């Protein structure tokens, strides 16, 4: 898959924050995904072990969830673990994995945040600018913002609000389980991002593409 190479990765934390503020202006977080046109989805995850980053991208049919392609990549972890700067830690190994893809998914689902991020550019938004495809952030834990009045049933959703701005939703993808925190990455909006994630979560809390990517990244041994 051909990427839009936007910048080098060897930045200091201060330089990374400044770059995020610049790139945020390019993120499109109000563009609905045409859900009727989606036929291929991808799950994206990175596992770090002993300062080695293992990336997995699992491409699946939609809505059948049959695996089309699994791409793995490994390289030394280049950046410290700093909240809000995950994309600089995981971006280089993901770049390598994306470039190996033979299939171009319609939508990428990331284990990480989209605009539900203090500077509105989590890893799904950041890498969306490289991919030039719709991306969705699917966070397992809350990074920023607050929500209230979330019902216990699967499909229940509550707006995620930060500093008066709606940045995503807390979405119950499985009854009585902790919610996922869903936000547009790039070329997506909140309603269609949440709807697609829910459709991609037939059995488990994690959307199926991310669940398989998470397993592949965690089990990957070079």
| Residue 161: strand pairing partners | 146, 166
* C-beta atoms surrounding 105 within 10 Å: 27
% residues pLDDT > 70 (the chain): 99
State yes or no: pLDDT of 222 exceeds 80.
no
The whole-angstrom separation of Cα 134 and Cα 32 is 9
Residue 219 scores a pLDDT above 90 = no
Query: For the chain, give me the number of helices (H) and strands (E)?
Result: 5, 8
pTM of the model: 0.96
**Structure confidence by residue, pLDDT tens digits, 118-149:** 999 999 999 999 999 999 999 999 999 999 99
Mean pLDDT, residues 12-20 taken together = 97
* Domain ranges within the chain, ordered by starting residue: 13-219
pLDDT bin (cut points 50, 70, 90) of residue 221 is: low
Query: Domain spanning 13-219: which CATH class is it, in words?
Result: alpha beta
Burial of 152 from C-beta contacts in 10 A (0-12 / 13-18 / 19+) = exposed
Segment 92-104 mean pLDDT: 97
Q: How many CB atoms lie within 10 A of CB 154?
A: 15
What pLDDT score was predicted for residue 175?
97
Would you state the pLDDT for residue 40? 98
Q: What confidence category does residue 220 fall into, taking pLDDT thresholds of 50, 70 and 90?
A: low
pLDDT of residue 85: 96
Band (pLDDT 50/70/90 cuts) for residue 50 is confident
Among residues 207, 203, 210, the alpha carbon closest in space to that of 194 is found at 207
pLDDT digits (tens, 9 = 90+) for 55-92: 999 999 999 999 999 999 999 998 999 999 999 999 99
Query: Per residue in 132-191, pLDDT tens?
Result: 999 999 999 999 999 999 999 999 999 999 999 999 999 999 999 999 999 999 999 999
- Which tokens sit at 97? 């994995």
């Amino acid at each position: 898959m051909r990427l839009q190479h936007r910048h080098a990765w060897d930045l200091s934390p201060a330089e990374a924050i400044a770059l995020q503020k610049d790139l945020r202006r390019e993120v499109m977080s109000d563009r609905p995904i045409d859900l009727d046109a989606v036929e291929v989805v991808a799950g994206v995850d990175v596992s770090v072990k002993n300062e080695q980053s293992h990336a997995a991208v699992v491409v699946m049919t939609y809505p059948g969830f049959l695996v089309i392609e699994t791409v793995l990549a490994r390289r030394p972890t280049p950046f410290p673990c700093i909240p809000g700067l995950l994309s600089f830690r995981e971006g280089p190994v993901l770049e390598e994995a994306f470039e190996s893809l033979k299939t171009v998914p319609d939508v990428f689902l990331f284990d990480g945040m989209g605009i539900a991020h203090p500077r509105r550019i989590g890893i799904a938004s950041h890498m969306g600018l490289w991919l030039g495809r719709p991306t969705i952030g699917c966070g397992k834990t809350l990074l920023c913002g607050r929500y209230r009045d979330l019902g216990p049933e699967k499909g229940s959703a509550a707006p995620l609000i930060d500093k008066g701005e709606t940045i995503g939703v807390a979405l119950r993808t499985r009854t009585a389980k902790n919610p996922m925190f869903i936000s547009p990455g790039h070329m997506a909006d909140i309603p269609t991002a949440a709807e697609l994630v829910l459709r991609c979560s037939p059995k488990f809390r994690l959307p199926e593409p991310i669940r398989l990517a998470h397993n592949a990244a965690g089990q990957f041994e070079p």
